[in-house]
Amino acid sequence: MSVLVQRFGGRSRLLVQALLTGGVNSAQKVFLRQRAADSNSPLPAFLDTLCQDEACLDEHTHALTTKPLVCLFSAAFKRDLLCFLHLLHPGLPRESVLALLRCLSQDADENPWICALISQLHKDVGVEEFRKDTLVTPECVLSLKDLCYRFKDSQEKGGWDRCLNQHKTDELSTDYQTDAGHKKRKSEITDLHMDAELDEPQSKRRKTDLAAQGDPEDGQVAVGQEESDVKTMQLDKELEGDSSATPPEEDCSSILPDHIKAAVPLIKELLDSGTEWDENCVPTLKVLNECDANQLEVFCAMLCLPEAPEQSLPHFCSSVLALSPDLSHSTASVIIKNLFLGKVRSLTEPPSRCLVTAVTSLCTRYPRPTCQALIEPLIKEGTNSAQAELLCRLVKDCLEPHHRLLVFQMTLVGSWNEGVLSVIHDLLDLKIELSEEIFSLFTNQLSSQYPHFTKSMKFAKMMLTVLTKFQSHVNAVCQHTLSCCISFNETFLKKSLQAALKRICH
């Protein structure tokens, strides 16, 4: 990609870099600054360069051929480019725009979104044959008509709610036919799979039964979500947390073999007592290796593992670590999720010594399951300072370099907060090995997140670590992104950041 960027002149290159790293908004800001500094628009030269032929290999024949330069960029760049030109079309040279659209049309058939944006830009510049064209495909028209028909009575009481619940019932009925571990509750079939809600204490679970109660306000909440399928799955999980539901051990234990059920009272008694487990207790835990995923979820629920006292966790984990053979990846993930996720989620002050000891012991033996079952959900939700303290300890003391890299990649999705920044800073401070691609993704995330952290000292310290420990990764595109981040910084470290970036540039 850097080779393609070098084909552009100075001002045009800045526009390309802005589109690549910050999208439409960033490119618009760069353009406005350029226009304020020089009344001569860079757009004609920018468009002409995009239309120049560039040598490349044909994807199918692997023969050397030529394509317009714009066709060699990613689909994301093309979408941002077309949106950028749509915003600025009144001041664009018409023939240059049409030439660019002809170039883009050569390989746009595979991407309906790009095709729609091309049609829109044709309309913007006044191409007559596109004036009457609709941007909505026939398939989209049919889908919209179907939605309108399904929701035609949505103004009536429970209209949307009734439609969504019918969809939910159909899904659940299908699941019931294919999974023997499902149950029937209040004349409705609900998914027995114990997901993240079982990780929280019973007192913290919401007690919502939208479908059964038919509450109009709840129906409005459900309709307010654009992704109704996701909402449906969330409601199914909430049903499992309802205090009026039949206890899992009464309805679900049928999927457990008798010898596994027989181990429940002994293990539960040991967990509740908080005393140290002797060697005779270890064989009892061998049943963990004999459960499949569904059985293990039920087993953990029968043990009330998410509510186990923290003082009993080190003894339980020691016995788990004494098992031979080791737990499988899926089994370890379920155990770690049930043992720790709810407890760490509820942290508002530094974790207890018992919790830290238990988590670090299992994380050291089972690092990848810990990353996926504990660390990833917390990072996605955004951690507070107490949770971040525990995660940073795991990163430093328990994880190997390749697992640290896995955690770093988890931070490149979603929004950041101060707790996540602490984790990222510690990972960078440990000098993890970043490929060019991952570092590029990181700078893209920096570009999208820095407006929220202009006064954050943690963000400034993280940036300083990037500029001092990852100098070799900072190419021309990254320099522009980092420069934008620094220019908006309002902490006393701004001058240090500018000096560090200047040393890299020179």
Domain range list for the chain: 2-135, 160-245, 250-405, 434-506
- What pLDDT is stored for residue 137 in this prediction? 65
What is residue 472's predicted lDDT score, i.e. its pLDDT? 85
Segment 33-40 long-range contacts (CB within 8 Å, at least 24 positions apart): 38/11
**pTM listed for this prediction:** 0.52
The mean pLDDT value of the chain amounts to 76
- Look up residue 178 and give its two tokens: 């294919």
Query: Beta-carbon neighbour count of residue 357 at 10 Å?
Result: 15
pLDDT greater than 70 at residue 204: no
Q: At 436, which amino acid appears? A: E
The pLDDT score that the predictor gives to residue 14 is 84
Mean pLDDT of 14-37: 81
pLDDT band for position 202 (cuts 50, 70, 90): very low
Kindly state the average pLDDT of the residues 102-129.
Answer: 76
Give residue 424's pLDDT. 94
Residue 397 pLDDT more than 50? yes
pLDDT for the residue 26: 81
- Whether residue 122 contacts residue 101, with contact meaning beta carbons closer than 8 Å, is answered with yes
pLDDT of 235 over the 70 cut: no
Is 250-405 a domain of CATH 1.25.40.480?
yes
Q: How many CB atoms lie within 10 A of CB 401?
A: 11
State the Cα–Cα distance between residues 271 and 358, nearest whole angstrom. 13
Where is average pLDDT lowest: 213-227, 283-297, 480-494?
213-227
Q: 190 near 236, Cβ under 8 Å? A: yes
C-alpha neighbours within 13 Å on the C-beta side of residue 15? 25
Residue 253 pLDDT: 55
Task: Find the range with the poorest average confidence among 222-231, 264-273, 347-356, 363-372.
Answer: 222-231
What's the pLDDT tens digit per position in 70-104?
888 888 888 888 888 887 777 777 888 888 888 88
How many Å apart are CA 344 and CA 161, to the nearest integer? 35
pLDDT at 251 over 60: no
Q: Which residue has better confidence, 459 or 195? A: 459
Residue 65 token pair: 């051929």
Choice between 284 and 447, residue whose per-residue pLDDT is larger = 447
Please tell me whether residue 185 adopts helix, strand or coil conformation.
Answer: strand
CA distance 117 to 87: 12
Q: What is the reported pLDDT for 281? A: 65
Strands (E), 30-71: 53-57, 64-68
Q: Could you give phi then psi for residue 28, rounded to 5 degrees?
A: -65, -40
Task: Please give the structure tokens belonging to residue 101.
Answer: 């659209």
- Residue carrying the six token digits 């006292």: 309
How many Å apart are CA 91 and CA 89, to the nearest integer? 5
